[in-house]
Amino acid sequence: MCDLDEIEKELKSESDELRLRIVREIGQRFAVALLTKSGTGENMTLTLAGSGTLVMVGKSYYILTAAHVWEFLKKADAIGITITEDMDHAFFMDARTIAATVEIKADKWNEWGPDLAFLKIPAEYLGTIQAYKGFYSPDVDGRLVDLPKEVVEARLLLGVPAELGTYTRTHADFRIDGCYLDPTPKAVVKNEHDFVDLIVALKDETAPKSYGGMSGGGLWKILVHCSPSNDKVVWSQRLAGVAFYELTDDEGNRVIRCHASQSIENAFPTS
């Protein structure tokens, strides 16, 4: 029987199957690791640049990430995204064909940003990507409708913590991961942008020492509930933020700062 109290406990468990199912479903559909490839042959170098989310606006397709990630990506020969859980199935695109339709950044990088970019994907790449991945649509995938009154709310940050992967000059082995976070983080507004700070580890020795690689990753609002038709556990999701900065609070906790939902909505491309 579907039990909301049990659902909440399960979501907070790092090893629980329900949390992993949600991470896996949203991650496989919309989340990507962003890679660069420079040089050829023995001089080829592969580097993890950050994380991103595949989004659709109107009839155009984009990678939503942090602007500082884009600054790194555009210097490469090729830009890659992971399209399956197997890193060997990354898909690379000529960096000269990728452009930032929207790029919002500060004159000098700082902990308050702004730090957002929408990278437009040319039509010639879409067939391969869509064979494996989906593009998040706020009007379709993000519609939180027909929900019961009783739901369990959570936040999941999806991306690729570099520290948890293994790397060589020509190969990388990692996977999209998700952190369960405070279900209702408080947003603050500064310089016309909204932000949320997410505590990802309370001095936990088992957690990564750094969440580098998560920059540009999507923060998701998850509403989990019991299906009225069959009493099974189901959920809805909405993209609610983009990670861009890591800091430490006064108590020594690791914190990831994200642009919140209003900043993303204001930055959405118009075409």
- Predicted pLDDT of residue 224: 85
Residue 171: is its pLDDT beyond 60?
no
- Predicted pLDDT of residue 14: 59
Residue 87: is its pLDDT beyond 60?
no
3-state secondary structure of 244: strand
Ranked by mean pLDDT, the top range of 75-89, 92-106, 209-223, 229-243 is 92-106
Domain 30-130: give its CATH code. Answer: 2.40.10
Residue 169: is its pLDDT beyond 60?
no
Q: What is the mean pLDDT of residues 178-191?
A: 74
- Predicted pLDDT of residue 50: 93
Question: How many CB atoms lie under 10 A from the CB of residue 157?
Answer: 25
Give the sign of the dihedral formed by CA 228, CA 229, CA 230, CA 235.
Answer: negative
Q: Which own/partner pairs from 123-131 qualify as long-range (CB within 8 Å, at least 24 positions apart)?
A: 124/97, 125/91, 125/93, 125/97, 126/61, 128/83, 128/91, 129/54, 129/61, 129/81, 129/83, 129/91, 131/83
Spell out the domain ranges in the chain: 4-29+137-267, 30-130
Residue 5: is its pLDDT beyond 80?
no
Residue 19: is its pLDDT beyond 90?
no
What digits encode the pLDDT tens for the residues 227-258? 777 778 888 889 999 999 998 888 777 889 99
Same fold, 4-29+137-267 and 30-130: yes
Identify the residue with better confidence: 87 or 137: 137
Q: What is the mean pLDDT of residues 209-223?
A: 86
Residue 136: is its pLDDT beyond 70?
yes
4-29+137-267 placed in CATH 2.60.40:
no
Amino acid found at 24: R
- Predicted pLDDT of residue 202: 54
pLDDT band at 262; cut points 50, 70, 90: very high
Q: What is the mean pLDDT of residues 173-183?
A: 62
Identify the residue with better confidence: 213 or 93: 93
Percent of the chain with pLDDT over 90: 42
